[in-house]
A and B are shown apart, each in its own frame.
Chain A
Amino acid sequence: MRIEKPNPNDFDALLMAGLKNHTINVPPDFAQKLRTRIQQQDYAAALAAIKMKERLLLATMILLPLALVAVALFIPQQVMTQLTVSIADIYHSFLPKPASALRQWLIIVVAAALLLYGLFDSFLTEN
């Protein structure tokens, strides 16, 4: 093949053509390998997210009720009485129940709400 000496004026055009015509060799399975890799990465990330959610849920279902029950048990009697009065004020009706009865109800309501929340969240996670 004869290679002609370039005209200095055509040098840029020659350079441009020469570089544009050069083919870059890419491994034929490069795109497929990369696609498999990101699929694996995304799968691993999704799995890690589910595991993290499970741990959080477990912590919520065990630790939070315990903490709330502990708080409810150790609230001073005076505060409980005040709470009773506050609730009564909000609903414009006086509850003539002793503070200990309200404490029991509070524990039951909080535990039931958390249990329902836990069941609902685990249902959502599974689905």
Chain B
Amino acid sequence: MKDTGWLERLRARDHSAFAELVQRHQQQVFLCCFALGLDAHQAEDVAGETFLAAWKSIPSFNAKSKLSTWLWVIAYHKTMDFLRKKRPASEGIYYDEQVVPDTDSSRPLETASRDEVIWSAVKNLPQPWPLVVILFYREEKSVAEIAAIMDIPKNTVKIHLYRARQKLKESLNSLWKDESKCV
């Protein structure tokens, strides 16, 4: 009930309701930007554009999907637009080359927490796997929801998830082996 009222205030262009929207979902929007490889400065710009676009089109939000899913869609498209403008036309946005995870960096493993290691391994996966993994494991979105957010077929999401999972198993296993040598 409280959320319905808040949504109505948002539709009525209430600035405090907008501030609440930003407070509630800013982490999610930044997460999308970071997952697609933007740095902090770029993420701030794109996240700002995302919320402004959401503010502009909130009257057309029909509440058939969750507000968070709707925001994910906007954030994803805004980030992709940014990447398209940033990168030369000849260079694809998605790339599947082997990217070596940053797990063997100069930072000693003993001081890194397990969560940071996992985050680092996911973030260093080839695009667009990090976003798929984050949406599935962290945001607990279904395959159908991920497909809708990224505008790709469900089977493609499943393939991305399968490959990302295999790659993560490899990289994290090697990490654990390295760690056991260190300890």
Q: Is the CB–CB distance between B44 and A27 below 8 Å? A: yes
Q: Is the CB–CB distance between A42 and B13 below 8 Å? A: yes
Known: A18-B114, A37-B52. A30 touches B176 (CB 8 A): no
The minimal Cβ–Cβ distance linking B101 to chain A, given in whole angstroms, is: 13
Residue B51, interface by CB 8 Å: yes
Q: What are the residues of chain B within 8 A of A11 when measuring CB–CB? A: 165, 169
Which B residues, 87 to 114, have Cβ-Cβ distances below 8 Å to chain A? 109-114
Q: Is the CB–CB distance between B18 and A35 below 8 Å? A: yes
Bitwise, B23-49 to A at CB < 8 A (1) or not (0) is 100110011001000001000100110
Q: Is the CB–CB distance between A39 and B133 below 8 Å? A: no
| Residue from A1, A8, A15 having most chain B Cβ neighbours under 10 A | A15
Q: What are the residues of chain B within 8 A of A25 when measuring CB–CB? A: 30, 40
Residue B172, interface by CB 8 Å: yes
Q: What are the residues of chain A within 8 A of B169 when measuring CB–CB? A: 8, 11
Q: Pick the contact of A19 from B30, B44, B118, B165 — CB < 8 Å?
A: B118
Residue B3, interface by CB 8 Å: no
Q: Is the CB–CB distance between B111 and A1 below 8 Å? A: yes
Q: Is the CB–CB distance between A15 and B34 below 8 Å? A: no
Known: A19-B118, A19-B133, A22-B119. A31 touches B19 (CB 8 A): yes
Q: What are the residues of chain B within 8 A of A20 when measuring CB–CB? A: 137-138
Complex: how many Å from CA A20 to CA B122? 12
| Residue from A2, A17, A22, A39 having most chain B Cβ neighbours under 10 A | A22
Q: What are the residues of chain A within 8 A of B147 when measuring CB–CB? A: none
Residue B84, interface by CB 8 Å: no
Q: What are the residues of chain A within 8 A of B168 when measuring CB–CB? A: 15
Bitwise, B43-82 to A at CB < 8 A (1) or not (0) is 0100110011001000000000000000000000000000
A5-B180, A18-B118 are known; give 19 further A-B pairs, CB within 8 A: A4-B176, A5-B177, A8-B169, A11-B169, A12-B137, A15-B122, A16-B137, A18-B119, A19-B133, A21-B115, A22-B138, A24-B34, A26-B26, A26-B47, A31-B22, A31-B26, A34-B51, A41-B52, A42-B13
A-B contact pairs, 24 of them (CB 8 A): A1-B111, A1-B114, A2-B183, A4-B176, A5-B176, A5-B177, A6-B176, A11-B169, A12-B137, A14-B114, A16-B137, A18-B118, A18-B119, A19-B118, A19-B119, A19-B137, A22-B115, A22-B116, A24-B34, A26-B26, A30-B47, A34-B19, A35-B18, A35-B22
Q: List residues of chain A with CB under 8 Å of any chain B CB.
A: 1-6, 8, 11-12, 14-22, 24-27, 30-35, 37-39, 41-42
Q: List residues of chain B with CB under 8 Å of any chain A CB.
A: 13, 15, 18-19, 22-23, 26-27, 30-31, 34, 40, 44, 47-48, 51-52, 55, 109-119, 122, 133-134, 137-138, 140, 165, 168-169, 172-173, 175-177, 179-180, 183
4 A-B pairs with the lowest CB-CB distances in the bound complex, closest first: A18-B118, A19-B138, A5-B176, A31-B22
